[in-house]
Amino acid sequence: MNTVNSTPSIAFFAAESPDARAAFAELTGRYGAGDIAHADVIVVLGGDGTMLRALHGSMNRKVRIFGMNCGTVGFLMNRYDTAGLVERVKRAEQVILHPLQLTAKTGDGQEHRLVAINEISLLRETAQAAKISIEIDGRERMSELVCDGVLVATPAGSTAYNLSAHGPILPLASGVLALTPISAFRPRRWRGAILPQKAKLRFIIREADRRPVSATADFNEIREVTEVTVCQDPSTALTLLFDPEHHLEERILQEQFQA
């Protein structure tokens, strides 16, 4: 792989939206298509959903990801500009993300594993509220949470679904995870917890037959889970690149002062 100071090989990964496809055509025409399988840098064109898909596809590779916003929110993206891309990539600042690992057991006795970069969420599947017990590092902390669901968010994902569910915004270097209830009915006033990133969480679904629950890691879902374990995977590192003036740490800080 090329060093940061040399000219990196660049490939492009685009969403299916008209704006992203137009950007893909323009950029590949200017810089060449590149080979995603062997590129030093993958430039992602789209929104945060496209970025998450690109990161999942690059999970086991030493490749850097530079996003340009052609979508709606684009919190994980840089501004879109076709000029000076190679120079932008060279001077970009790195952010290292460690994903969450989910292990879920289902009612049929099977065990499933998924990985999440933003969050892992447990959600009720029917009109009845879910009943979930929560253990942290082998100790029961809540015997029964009656709710629409509950989620675990990384710092990078804390401004996404977690924030919409009134969870805390976490600085990247905080070394913590957010545990956030979704429409908690009992205990009604519980607002969640902030946990060390090394914490191991275990969720046990009560009355799973009558109150089925699904588990979702970013965009991958497992239905009718009975038990879910979540922990951070420190052995997997994902490298995002940001323009110095649009660094992710600064965006997370700014988000805390939005009206």
Distance CA 53, CA 162 (A): 19
pLDDT band at 256 (very low <50, low <70, confident <90, very high): confident
Domain span including residue 219: 100-232
40 is in an annotated binding site: no
Same domain membership, residue 106 and residue 216: yes
Is the entire prediction scored with pTM above 0.85? Answer: yes
- Is residue 4 in a domain? no
pLDDT in tens, 7-19: 889 999 999 999 9
pLDDT in tens, 165-222: 999 999 888 999 999 999 999 999 899 999 999 999 999 999 999 999 999 999 999 9
Same domain membership, residue 212 and residue 129: yes
217 is in an annotated binding site: no
- Is residue 39 in a domain? yes
Domain count, the chain: 2
Active-site choice (19, 40, 48, 243)? 48
Same domain membership, residue 89 and residue 109: no
Q: Tell me, what CATH number does 241's domain have?
A: 3.40.50.10330
How many C-beta atoms lie closer than 10 Å to residue 255's C-beta? 13
Cβ atoms of 43 and 36 within 8 Å: the answer is: no
69 is in an annotated binding site: no
Same domain membership, residue 26 and residue 112: no
Distance CA 212, CA 192 (A): 22
Give the helix ranges, DSSP H, for 41-100. 48-57, 85-91
- Is residue 129 in a domain? yes
Can 48 be counted among the known catalytic residues?
A: yes
Same domain membership, residue 149 and residue 85: no
pLDDT in tens, 67-82: 999 987 788 999 999 9
- Is residue 20 in a domain? yes
Same domain membership, residue 143 and residue 119: yes
Same domain membership, residue 139 and residue 84: no
pLDDT in tens, 84-136: 999 999 999 999 999 999 999 999 999 999 999 999 999 999 999 999 999 99
